[in-house]
Structures are given as structure tokens and as C-alpha cells.
Structure 1
Amino acid sequence: MRKKILLLSCLIIVLLAASACKKADVNQNPSELNQDESQKEKEENDDEGTPEVSQDETKAVIPYDYVQNLNIIDDNYRNFYEIFVYSFYDSNGDGIGDINGVISKLDYINDGNDATDSDLGFNGIWLMPIMPSTTYHKYDVTDYYNIDPQYGTLEDFKNLVSECHKRGIHLIIDFVFNHTSAKHPWFLEAVSYLESLKEGEEPDLEKCPYVGYYHFTKDYNGSKTYYKAGTSNWYYEGVFWDQMPDLALENENVRKEIEDIAKYWLDLGVDGFRLDAAKEYFSGEKERNIEVLKWFSDYVKSVKEDADIVAEVWDEEGTIAAYYESGIPSLFNFPLSQHNGLITNTARKLGTSSGKNFAKTLLRLDEKYKEGNPKYIDAPFISNHDTTRISAQCVNDEDQMKMSAGMLLTMNGSPYVYYGEEIGMNSKGTKDENKRLPMQWSATDTTGITTPPANADSVEQKFPPVDEQMKDPLSLYNYYKRAVRIRNENPEIARGDMSVIEELCTKDISAIKKVYQGSEIVILYNINTESANILLKDAGLTELNIRGYLSVDGNAVTMSDGVVSMPKYSIVILK
């Protein structure tokens, strides 16, 4: 019995001691606990030789410690924001966006103050057509010397130009001269004259020079791109629509009209032009189209030497390279865009695509375009007003959308971002109206939100509006903002001569070096759903530091002893 009591007493003492130890652990300073865990993690990493990025890390945002001073160069390498004025912001309550609405939202795009971080940081704006028109999209111009009344007045536009320039923003406008509206005075006068001709009488350009402004013919062969000119026996060409008659760009009088129009807008202060449908100036006649671009570019440069000019040549890389022989500064890089382009095609296949292929394709395109124009400025983009939005391309996968944006905004040249892409606005189907829906500023405050274009469908938006995303550090909006900031901190990203770092490229890792005026950066892309460690010594790289990084989930890119540890879907700039 005495032995049993002694044994029981010992057991009680042990239990009390254990309880005290447990209580002491619970009351331990949390910082000491973190230190213990950190030390344990460090020892484990030391044992393994290279650091690991945990896939179980907290969703809390890791402090970003790599903000650099802005280093924005005042040249034609820009970060452009494309605006469809009709759907952007309504300043007067009529349901239609307008010029004053754009002005009221300039601080959202760029407030002109380098000391703030509340704006997106874009320093270029492309306005879709703003001239008087009969349609909502305004690609059928009725007056090349004015602003569509739905959008405002010339005074409003002059104010916009001034406010943009105060903020260091280049403003370019859509210049549509492949065709006019069928309601344009030139066309109306030409058709009226043709209707007045007697049977067998031929047009006299002395009496009506406007007949020579368009492609009129009596020899109608059943072509679907030719339409009857009023009640006359003549037909006119309209490649896109019967309400968009094609201009005869071989006509010297037409060219003089276009030159006068260009000078008018340049004198008003615009920084350049986006040229619509350059491949259709003479449909199927590449050499003639190239000549038109050369003529227009040469003229504009004679008026404003540093004018921004970017043209739409919707085709494959070989054709785009040929059009660069015109000397035009920029052409939209269509092989990078849309659901089957390099950017989202790579992002959508995260974990299975080739990192090396991404880098090598960028280099191949760069070399090919330089053959046409060694001084070209690339115009990469993911989507625009004619294509499905990135959210539809990536089926609303936010990680893929962020990675796509990160790839775009670390490319050479002047990237173009379509309004609303920074918040993941959705599109639906092939209908153009569904690609041009109202900007989603707020779900609770409808001030300034426009009415959808007629015939637009109801399209569900999967991501929050601007005001909500601004508050979320992990939002798509804030990812775009950081990406633009990093670009504005490192001029090598846009301007650097590019090469592929073969030793670091794998199925999942893409590695690119860029050199600008003797300054060298390295850009690494982890195109995978898993973390990765990259040993810089494999490429003989030393003395590099992190200049900035992008990650989809807030996890940090780190570097220790020449090993870069990258979380999933991340990008890092080293210098």
C-alpha cells in the first residue's frame, strides 16, 4: 500500500509540472514564438542548402520593400491606356461618357505627382474616335474638324489636352481615314452629282472633285464590298459597311485633305495618332498600303518630329514586319494578343508551357521587326475594343490574368491597356458592344457610370469595381498599379536591347536580359503553379539585387547567396 501511495504521489507531481510547462508556453511572448519558429525554419533551410518558398504561407500581404524612385524618361516610350469615351465616365448625367468625364478621371490614370501612389501611373492615353459620327462607336466620321456633340466641345478637348500635358501624359487620338461616313459632306456631294448625270454622261472632276475622293464604278461585278450610290447607276466601295465608303487614298486631293486634318489636330496639341485599318487602305495590296503609311508618317513627322504614330495591321508577324518598312514608329503586336496570342496562351498553360519559348519568341519578334525599322517602338497589348477581354480569355482565372498583365508590362516598347482590364471587366461572345461596356467605378455609387451601348447584352462582372479593388492590396487593380510603377522605375524594361539567358530558361522559367545605355537588368518569370529556386551562378550572374517583383498572392520574391526564390506565377527584376 505504501508503494502505491508513493507511486501515485510521483505521478501527480509529474502531471503538475507538465501543466505548468504548458501554461508557460501559452503565456510566452508571441514574438519569441515567432523567433523560435523562424530559427527552426532557418535551420531546416540551412540543412537543405537552398531556401524554399512555402506553399502554405499566410494570405496576408508581405510588406513590399523595393519601391524605387521613379525614373520616367520624356520620350515616346509610354504606358498607354485606351479609352472608349462613350463608356468611360459620364459628367453630365445623359448616360454617355464624355470628354469632361475623362478629365475628371485623369487623376485615376495619372495625377502628375511623383510623390503619390494613388494613381495607376499610365503616361499615355489613346482615345478611340471622338469626331462627329452617326454611330455609337464613331468609326464613321462626318466631320474631321470637330468633337462629337455627345462627347462635348472643342473647348472641352483643348482643356483635356492641357490637363494631360500638365500630368506628363501623351494624348493620341484615333484617326480614321480608310473611309468616311456615308453622311460625310464629301460623299453626299459626290453621290448627288452622280445622280444628276444624264444617261451616258461621265463625271467631270472639275465640276465635282469629290467624285474622285471615293472608289466609284459603273462596272459592278457582284462584289459584296460595293454598294449602289443613291439612285445613280454608279457603285462605291465600302469594305467594312455600306455606311463607310472607302476613300481613294491614291488621290492627291484626298491626301491633302488628310494632311490638313492631321495638322489641325497636331496644332491643337495632340501628341499623335492611332491609325485604324491600315491593312485595308488598298485591301490585298500590301505594297500600296506600306506606301500610304510612309507618306502619312513622313508628313506628320515634318509637322511634329516626335509625334506618336501607331497603326493597326491585324496580321501575323511577317506581315507586320513588312509594314515596318514604311518607317512608321509603331504597329500593334497582334501575335502577342488575344486568347491564342503569346501572352495569355502562355499564362493559361501555367505549369505546362515553355518558359524558354516565351523568351525566345519575344526575341524573335524583336529581331524580325527591327529588320523593317531598326528604331521601331513595339506596341504590345492583350486586348482592345475589337477583341474579347482578358477575363474572358482566361475564363476569370485571376492568377492567369495577373500573370498576363505582368508579362505585358515588362515587355519592350509602349504597352497598351484597354480601360477596365485593370479591374478584370468581362466581355461576352463576339458582339462588339459587349467588349465596350460601362467602366465599373462602383457598385453602390452610380455617379458617372454610363448606359451600355444599344444592343449590348447583360454581362456578369466577376470582379469587384474600382472603389472596392482599390482597398484590396491583393486585387488585380493593385497588381496593375505595381506593375506600371516597376516599369516607371526601370527604363531598361521598355528600352533595353534584349537577349535570352539560356542557362536559366526551363519549361517553367523564362529569363531575359535587357541593356539600356550601359545599364543592365535581368527579368525572371516563374510561369508555374509551384515555387521555384533559380541559381544565378548557373548563368555567371553575380552582384545582382532585387529591383522589384510581382506575385499573384502577395508572397515575396527573395534572394539569398545568389539563389532567387520565386513563389508561383511571379516576376522579378534584378539589377
Structure 2
Amino acid sequence: MKKYSKRLKYISLVSTLCLMASTSACGNKKESTTIDDNYRTTYEIFVYSFCDSDGDGIGDLKGVINKLDYINDGDDSTAEDLGCNQIWLMPVCPSPTYHKYDVTDYCDIDPEYGTINDYKQLIEESHKRGIRVINDMVMNHTSSQHPWFKEACDYLKNLPEGAEPDSAECPYFDYYNFSKESATGFEKLAGTDWYYECRFWSEMPDLNLDNEKVINEFSDIAKFWLDLGCDGFRMDAVTSFTTDDTDASTAELKKFVSAVKTLNPDAYIVGEAWTNSSTYSKYYASGIDSLFDFDFSGSEGAIAKCAKSKLKPIKYVQQQIDEDKLFSSYSEDYVNAPFYTNHDMARSAGYYIGKNATDSTKLAGALNLLMSGNAFIYYGEELGMKGSGKDENKRAPMQWGESGSEGMTKGPSGMDKIEMTYGTLEDQKNDESSIYNYYKKAIRIRNAYPAIARGKCAILDQLCGDRCAVWTKEISDTDSVILIALNNGKEPIQIDLAKSDDADGFKTLGASLSTGGEDAVLDGNTLTLPAFSFAVLTK
């Protein structure tokens, strides 16, 4: 961490000045304040529903390119972009389904989305703007139409009666989990006495990741994308690599991680282990950079509970401290991956009802962005998009404008009609009180203070209350330290900083953000926080 010290001083100073000043006062385009590490703010994109460039109603890679300036224009002196500095592309490889989590060719782009040349252009344009790009890697299973599976099936169908399969004759037989015995999660292979494992769906046969040849295939696949400029991978369904066996799944993940790190030590890898932290923490033993922090996500996660005042702020912070101890016991170099929602969850704006619903929707976004690590935002979350029930509803078109406007997609077939409470980007972009502009401000605060993403938390107990938490975040071996105060209640609160020696020296109100637009006030040792707000203090 010592390598950050001088760089952090510069970044904190420049970012804070630009945060406090107007856009014009920040001057012309200058050196980027992004630190080139894995502590980022990542924007998850479902290409199918994001932006359509050719009018066929389906999102594509050129559409993503057209909207890169929306995500980050690469110019720190502007305030027009969101400020995210990494994108995660949900699967882009050829597939028979709209979601593309059943791949038929791991080294190509689905024609609905474009071409390899489009992907190369996306990488080039993203990197120009300081945006890294990670691909979804579906290693647990393939499509039933993948050539590996089709060849294995043809081999078994033509196997003489009484003969045993021989991987020397058909190596792809051992790429999957075939059995003569029926079992839960297995499907009968038509025309044979064989069954194959397919835990998610009959058209998604599970791969045998205990087979070194399969791991080698995925090492070659990773090399293909890394050579094109891809910056890393999001690993799908790592808990399913070997069903009900965390140790085996971790070992299989470790083989892939090691292969990728040999190819490119700087490649970033984040894993989906949809379970509780006591279990997904174990996957850090694989050497993976990050794991999604599911305990904080969704309608019943710590973020949503704190946003609707059902979880005390101090518990929101303490849970982060407890996780840090747990995760670091498996990997000292782990980078947490907090997120609020994703493509498999109901959209967050539907979590709240009542007169404070908008406040909770906004505050939850900030609670995600105040966490250490690489924070993930699902496309449209910054607009307060809604969508629940069937998966298609959770993957609705990005709301650029009214239906039929430029870039709008038609969305997945079978999607229900969804009423978007908070409107489109066009509705929100000029409204300073909108969810969109709140997210932009929250991301800018995160970017302005490196300790938000990189610091370790320490609670100032004497300053905490039922609706208030105060904690510091400090980057080890540097002088980068901030104090954060949070009010998740409906009423303003005052905090007497003099009650804690650990608050001594925090005399500057660097930034504040409230859901209602009011500013925090620091008067001597008294900090006044508006309802549903947070503030960042510096020394």
C-alpha cells in the first residue's frame, strides 16, 4: 500500500477542489485522478437491453460504445458522466437464448451484438476513457448446442451396446458429467441409457471442471479475450462448479485463477458465489481478487435494511468490519465487491413504499458506494428502474427516453409492462433532485476520496446513536484518512465531535450528500446532518 502515498495526496487534493468547485472552475482536461488498481466503481451492462445502435430493437456493442461517455467521458473536469471506471459485460458470446448464459462458442461475439471488431473497438474506446472492461465467463456449463456437448452426445448415441466410453476416442465425453444412474440434477440423454448433469436447466449441461483438459480449454479462452484487451472476468456460479462441495469448487476456481494470473498478473477476477458470507469467504482461498458481497445486497440485505431504517447504521458499519476480518483470514489481498442489485434480483426501486420511498432508494445507492472495495452498479439502478418477478422483468430496457427514442431497445420477449416510477434519463438529467443526479454526486464523492474504496473502517462508538454512525476509513501506511458520518433517519441530527478523541483534527467538511438536497453543516465541533444524509470530513 505504500506505493499509494504520494499519489493519494495529489488525488485527494485535486479531486476535493473539483468536487467543491463548479465544473468550469475545475479548468481544462487534466491528469486523471483514477488510481490504476482494483478498487473501482463498476457498471454492469446487459448488452441486449442497454442500447440499440441499428434499430433492430436489440442492444449491441456499438450501442455500448455510443454510451461510453454516459458512463465515463474520461475527462475529470466535466460533470456530465456517471463517473464509473469499469464495466462488466454480461455474456456476449454466441448463444441460443436472449441472456446468453448458455454459450455455443467461447471465442466469438453473438451476431445479435456485433462482431469481434466491434468488441476491439469497445475495448479501445473504453481504455481511452480510463474504463476497464471485464467479461462474463460462464465456466460451469455450456449450451446443449455447444460442439463439445453435441460431439459427446453423438458418441454415446453411437456407442455399441455393452461398450464402455473411451475418452481416447471422444475426449468430450469427459468434458461433462455423464452417468448411467439417474439422480437429482441429471437429465436423460434421449436415445441412450445415459444421464447428464444440468443443475440449472436441461439445455445447460454442466462441465466437468475436475478434468484438467476443461480447465486448459478455459485458459485458452481467457487468453483469447485478454489478447483482445479484456481486463478480466466475472466468474458465473462458482458455488456450482462441484455441487455441494465448497472445497472442490474452490480448488477448481483456483486452477482457473492461477492460469489467468499466469497470462496476465493484472487481470481482475470477481466471482459470483450466491450464498452467505461465512461460505463465500472460503472462495478467497482460490486467489480470486473479489467475490460479490451478497450479505449486503437485495431487498433483505444490509444496504436495503439500513436505507429503510430497519438496521442501525452502526450495524451496517460493524458488519463491514466483521467481514474484513473474515475475508482477510482467507486472503490478505482480497478486494471486496459490494453491490446492491444485479440481473437476477428484483430492481431496487421496488423495495420501498410510503412517503420516504425515494429517500430510501437514493440512500441505498450511497450505502453501496461508501463501502470499501470495487462497488458494482446494475445498469438503470441510477435511474430508479423497476422490475420484479420473472427474470425478463429484471432485465428491462435501459430508460434513455420514451419508447421509440434513440437507443431504446425492445427488451426480452415475454417481459411484462413495467411502470417506471421515476422516469427516464431525459426526465431526470436536468432535475437536480433526481435519483440520477444523486447517484452522480455519490460516485463523485467516492472517486474524490480514495479512502472510501480503499480504507479500513474504525467506529467512533461515542458518536453513534440509533440513527447515526460515525467511523473513520484509513489506508494503511499512508496519511489518507477520512471521517464519515451517516444519518439514516427522517430527522436532522447533531453530532458533538468533541466527545471522541478519535474525531480530533477532522476540521474540514469535504463533502456531504442528502436525499433532500440540504447540506451538512460543520460549526466548530458540531456536525449537523440532514435527514437521510452522510458527510465526509478530512483533517
Identify the TM-score tier after normalising by the shorter chain.
over 0.9
Q: Post-superposition shift, 1:317?
A: 1.2
What are the superposed Cα offsets for residues 195-243 of structure 1, whole Å, 9 maximum, x if unpaired? 00121111121111111100111122xx241112231211110010000
Letter of the 2:407 counterpart: G
Aligned to 1:24: none
Kept after mapping to 2: 8 A contact 1:190/1:208: yes
* Aligned: 1:107 with 2:65: no
Letter of the 2:347 counterpart: R
CA distance in 2 between counterparts of 1:112 and 1:100 reads 18
Q: 2:430 aligns with which of 465, 471, 493?
A: 471
Kept after mapping to 2: 8 A contact 1:428/1:459: no
Aligned to 1:206: 168
CA distance in 1 between counterparts of 2:319 and 2:265 reads 32
What SS class does the counterpart of residue 482 from structure 2 fall into? strand
* Aligned: 1:557 with 2:520: yes
What SS class does the counterpart of residue 469 from structure 2 fall into? strand
Q: Post-superposition shift, 1:444?
A: 7.0
Paired residues, what number?
507
Aligned to 2:344: 386
Q: Post-superposition shift, 1:362?
A: 1.5
Listed as ranges, the matches of 1:487-498 within 5 Å are 487-498=446-457
CA distance in 2 between counterparts of 1:66 and 1:539 reads 31
What SS class does the counterpart of residue 458 from structure 1 fall into? coil
Kept after mapping to 2: 8 A contact 1:542/1:562: no
What are the superposed Cα offsets for residues 224-275 of structure 1, whole Å, 9 maximum, x if unpaired? 4111223121111001000000001011111111110011111110000000
What SS class does the counterpart of residue 398 from structure 1 fall into? helix
Aligned to 2:331: 373
CA distance in 2 between counterparts of 1:252 and 1:322 reads 22
Letter of the 2:49 counterpart: S
Query: How has the CA–CA distance of structure 1 residues 444 and 211 changed in structure 2, closer, same or farther, with 3 Å as cutoff?
Result: closer
Aligned to 1:330: 290
Q: 1:315 aligns with which of 253, 263, 275?
A: 275
Aligned to 1:300: 260
In the alignment, structure 1 segments of 5+ residues that lack a partner are 1-63
Computing the radius of gyration over CA atoms, which structure comes out larger, 1 or 2?
Answer: 1
* Aligned: 1:120 with 2:82: yes
Letter of the 2:510 counterpart: R
Letter of the 1:105 counterpart: K
Kept after mapping to 1: 8 A contact 2:317/2:457: no
What are the superposed Cα offsets for residues 282-309 of structure 1, whole Å, 9 maximum, x if unpaired? 0101100111121111111111111110
- After the TM superposition, which parts of structure 1 deviate over 4 Å for at least 4 consecutive aligned residues? 64-70
Kept after mapping to 1: 8 A contact 2:510/2:537: yes
Aligned to 2:145: 183
* Aligned: 1:347 with 2:307: yes
Aligned to 2:368: 408
Q: 1:78 aligns with which of 36, 40, 45?
A: 40
Kept after mapping to 2: 8 A contact 1:353/1:507: no
CA distance in 2 between counterparts of 1:143 and 1:343 reads 38
What are the superposed Cα offsets for residues 464-522 of structure 1, whole Å, 9 maximum, x if unpaired? 10012110011100010011111111101000122111111111111121112222100
Kept after mapping to 2: 8 A contact 1:512/1:522: yes
Letter of the 1:510 counterpart: A
Q: Post-superposition shift, 1:418?
A: 0.2
Task: Give the structure-2-normalised TM-score.
Answer: 0.92
Aligned to 1:536: 497
CA distance in 1 between counterparts of 2:178 and 2:311 reads 51
Aligned to 1:215: 177
Listed as ranges, the matches of 1:439-454 within 5 Å are 439-443=398-402, 446-454=405-413
RMSD across aligned positions (CA): 1.4
Aligned to 1:504: 463
| Seq. identity, % | 45
Query: How has the CA–CA distance of structure 1 residues 529 and 236 changed in structure 2, closer, same or farther, with 3 Å as cutoff?
Result: same
Aligned to 1:89: 51
Aligned to 2:236: 276
Listed as ranges, the matches of 1:7-22 within 5 Å are none
Listed as ranges, the matches of 1:109-258 within 5 Å are 109-220=71-182, 223-258=183-218
CA distance in 2 between counterparts of 1:165 and 1:353 reads 39
Letter of the 1:159 counterpart: Q
CA distance in 1 between counterparts of 2:471 and 2:248 reads 37
Kept after mapping to 2: 8 A contact 1:173/1:270: yes
CA distance in 2 between counterparts of 1:514 and 1:401 reads 24
CA distance in 1 between counterparts of 2:109 and 2:21 reads 44
What SS class does the counterpart of residue 329 from structure 2 fall into? helix
CA distance in 1 between counterparts of 2:365 and 2:426 reads 20
Kept after mapping to 2: 8 A contact 1:294/1:327: yes
